[in-house]
Amino acid sequence: MMPATTPSATPFATPPLPWEPEIIAFCCNYCAYAAADLAGSKRMQYPANVRIIHAPCTGKIEMEHILDAFVKGIDGILVAGCLEGGCHFLEGNLRAHRRTDRIREMLAEIGVGEARLKMVNLSAAMAPTFVASVKEMVDTVRALGPSPLKEPQQLESEGTL
């Protein structure tokens, strides 16, 4: 008699983690990054889904940076710059706005969804606004679900490529 087949997975394999949105926040040095820093100093809680990238100015964030992140499967991107009229480089945030608007059009046309990219303006003192923006972005992306460009999650039990 043939022995009963054993399950291929080891009994110690961890079950796949439930999906959590992965969000990048591009923050300008003078306002948004300082606001995020202030939120930390004030012990304000915001979702851990966001990874902050420190940029000298939102005007330095090229369209390619954002598109590359989407191609690699990021679920959402928040671009956070100074208040309009408050850019330390005069109009970097206004240029960033035009670029993000264009990418939102592209994302809509491609079918990724324009809501996955958002730009907000805030000053260095607006830590609560930063926290609210991050929470709102996480809620938006959670409602949309994982990026359709995301690669299937590699399980630890499957080894590395």
Partner 1 sequence: MIVASPKSITELKSLITRHNRVLFVGCGTCVTVCLAGGEREVGIASYAIRMARKLDCEPLELTQMTIERQCENEFIKDLAEAAAKVDAIVSFGCGVGVQAIAERFPSKPVYAGLNTQFMGTLEEQAVWTEKCLGCGDCMLAQFGGICPVTRCAKRLLNGPCGGSSETHCEVDPDRPCAWQLIYARLKAIDQLDQLDAIVPAKDWSTSWHAGARKVVRKEHRV
Residues that bind partner 1 (CB under 8 A): 63-64, 67-68, 70-71, 106, 109-112, 148-149
The nearer residue to partner 1, 77 or 126, going by C-beta atoms, is 77
Shortest distance, CB of residue 107 to partner 1, whole angstroms?
8
Shortest distance, CB of residue 10 to partner 1, whole angstroms?
31
The nearer residue to partner 1, 111 or 159, going by C-beta atoms, is 111
The nearer residue to partner 1, 110 or 125, going by C-beta atoms, is 110
Shortest distance, CB of residue 112 to partner 1, whole angstroms?
6
For 106, residues 6+ apart whose C-beta sits below 8 A from its C-beta are 67
The nearer residue to partner 1, 9 or 110, going by C-beta atoms, is 110
For 76, residues 6+ apart whose C-beta sits below 8 A from its C-beta are 21, 22, 23, 24, 116, 117, 118, 137, 138, 140, 141, 144, 147
Q: What's the one-letter identity of residue 61? A: I
